[in-house]
Each structure stands twice: as structure tokens, then as C-alpha cells.
Amino acid sequence: MFIDIPNELEAALIDLPLPTWALDGSFLAKATRKRYRTELTATPRFEETAATLRQALHGEGGGYAVLRLGNLAKALGADDDRFLRLATGFAAEVALPFSPFPRWPLWKDIGVKVDKDPGKSSGIGYNAFHMDLVNGTLPPDYTTLLCVRPDPLGGGPSILSDAHAAVARVSQDSRTLLAEPAYHYGTFFDLFGVGEEYKPFPILDGSAPGEGFVRFTAKMLERSELRQAHADAARELAEELVRGQVSFMLRPGTTSS
């Protein structure tokens, strides 16, 4: 789950002159991905580290990964373009990086706003378990967060949980309800690459246990009108996500997916 960069790879990456990326729409361009892969795979132990990252995300008992790039961030500057290119190169080893928000760059800055809803992105309260863009027909497989600076007041722990493992622990009756298109949450506008609006949507896509996308957001339990049986099933899943959670602080240069 927590992946450190080998010393020899760190030393090589500090001086690696990756070019500025190009986008094809909101997706990382194929030529950029090819160039990054060529440059990165020539560095010592990169492929080994990338394989460990993929295994953490795809392997049994995983579902998320925390990649520690702190020494690189310190050497290059966590918000420096050279460091962002390296972070993008690692992300491209797992999936095709893109931004679903046309008005924002590939890496969207998320600050802190004391006057915003505390439970939403950039708010200062508890942001309940959720997957992004649950109401799109093609939600992204991963969301990647990159820490560039710590909270000076010591707040902001990240909380992660293995959604498929949590699903496996809920009752069969609840899984049946979770597979019904009875849930809805959020708005849908000015988005790119995530399909059409899916409303209502199922939490489970009907695939075999451990497969498929889990369209879950605990926020709908407080902010959407749901039938009691469907709400109870979603609460059972929320409880299992909390039971399996891990909490940690992201440090500058640390990325989680």
C-alpha cells in the first residue's frame, strides 16, 4: 500500500529532463505517454517500482496505493513543473491520466476554504467516504491526490478503504439492493471523458464480487431522498468502509490513488 522509491531511482529521477506534457482534449497525449515511458524505463529500478504500484492498485487486498516521492519533491520543489512531470509519469504507468474538468489543468489545485461546506472538497470538515463522479456512466478508475504542502495547523488526514473488500462483507440482501439503479447524488455539467449522466445509478454494477466499479458516496445518505431499504443497504456498506479504513497524513511529495 505504501511504496518508497529506491535510492538509485531517486538519484536518477532528479536529473531526468522529462518534457512538458501535451494533452489530447483532457487526456494525456499518446506522444507524451510514449516519451515519458521511454525516459523513465531507462532509469534503474523504475519498472520494478511501477510494477509494485500496479500490483497495489490491482492486486487482491489492495485497491489503493500511496507513493512516497518526498525526497524528489524536496529536491525539485513539490509544485515545480519538473516534479509534476515525474508524478504524471508514474500515474501514466497505471492508467491514462486525464482531467474531467475542461476549465482546470491536468493537476487541479485544491486549497482550503473556511467558508465552504465543511463536508465537500476544500472544506475543513469530515469528507465522507466517496468515489468521484458516481453519477457518470464512465467514472475514472482512479483519483490521484498529490500533496504539495502540509496544513500548518496539522489537519487534513486522508482516509482510505478497500471498497471491494467492504462490499464482500455486506449481506447478500444488501448487495442485491445495491445493484439496483435506485441511487442519485450530485450535479452533472461541464465534464469531459466521463460519459453521460447516470441517474439513478446502482452502487454495484452487477459484476462478480471483487470486480466492477463501486459507485458509492456516503453523502447521498444525508443529501438525497432514498427508499428506506436502499438507504439501509448503503449505510451497511458505509459502515464496512469505515471498519476497513486506514488513516494517515499525506506529506509533501506523497501521492495517493
Q: In which band, very low, low, confident or very high, does the pLDDT at 11 lie, cut at 50, 70 and 90?
A: very high
Q: How does 100-132 read in b/e, with b if 16+ C-beta sit within 10 Å?
A: beeeeeebeeeeeeeeeeebeeeebeebbbbbe
Q: In which band, very low, low, confident or very high, does the pLDDT at 252 lie, cut at 50, 70 and 90?
A: confident
User: According to the model, what pLDDT value does residue 176 have?
Assistant: 94
| 3-state SS string for 224-242 | CCCCHHHHHHHHHHHHHHH
Q: 114 or 19: whose pLDDT is higher?
A: 19
pLDDT digits (tens, 9 = 90+) for 206-219: 766 677 889 999 98
Q: Are 37 and 92 in contact (CB under 8 A)?
A: yes
Q: 119 or 107: whose pLDDT is higher?
A: 107
Indicate whether 62 pLDDT > 70. no
Percent of the chain with pLDDT over 90: 62
d(CA 162, CA 57): 10
Indicate whether 60 pLDDT > 70. no
Can you list the alpha helix ranges (DSSP code H) found in the chain?
7-14, 30-41, 46-58, 70-76, 81-92, 163-169, 172-178, 220-223, 228-243
